[in-house]
Amino acid sequence: MSKTNTNDFYQKVYEIVARIPEGKVTSYGAIAGYLGVESGARMVGYALNNYNSADLGFYIPAHRVLNRLGQLTGRGHFEGDTMRERLEQDGVEFVEEYTVNMEKHFWTPYELED
DNA sequence: GCCTTGACGTTAG
DNA sequence: ACTAACGCCAAGG
């Protein structure tokens, strides 16, 4: 009875985000597509918004999840410029004030297969 | 129970 | 190449 509930979907999102390598970024759509929900990009954003570190018990680098253009669309949910600062610490190259070099740092969950 | 909103993405003009 | 509109699905009002 492994039914893909929304809560299960969120859980998978957290697991994937937690595995994003340092210096790499991915997109909401990439995660959604990997989970089999191509149209669930917004749900990924919802998952991160609902995310509570206390519930999971492990930290997830939500700042490494951007939209498909590499823009830090979720920066408003971080404190100040925390999101951008975190990415810079990871060594991510920016092409705009709030846009990273997607071509250079893009990463997909499929690379987890290894 | 209907309507609006949103950490998105694709297609059309 | 740029902008506008629609589709998507869940949560909150």
| Per-residue pLDDT at A7 | 86
Q: Which residue has the tokens 């951007």?
A: A66
Per-residue pLDDT of chain A (114 residues; tens, 9 = 90+): 545 688 899 999 999 999 999 999 999 999 999 999 989 999 999 999 988 776 788 999 999 999 999 999 999 999 999 999 999 999 999 999 999 999 999 999 999 866
Picking from A68, A66, A9, the residue whose alpha carbon sits closest to that of residue A36 is A9
Residue A1 confidence (pLDDT): 56
Q: Is A86 helix (H, G, I), strand (E, B) or coil?
A: helix
Residues contacting residue A20 through CB under 8 Å, at least 6 positions apart:
A26, A61, A64, A65, A107
What is the CATH number that goes with domain A3-107?
1.10.10.10
Distance A57 CA to B9 C1' (A): 31
Please give the pLDDT value at position A48: 94
pLDDT of residue A88: 96
As ranges, strand B nucleotides with an atom below 7 A of a protein CB are 6-10
Closest residue, CA to C1' of C8: A39
Q: What pLDDT is attached to residue A50?
A: 86
C11 nearest neighbour residue (CA to C1') = A46
Nearest-nucleotide field for A9 (CA, C1')? C10
Q: Does residue A16 sit in helix, strand or coil? A: helix
| Whole-prediction pTM | 0.92
- What pLDDT shows up at residue A15? 95
Q: Which nucleotide is nearest to A10 (CA to C1')?
A: C10
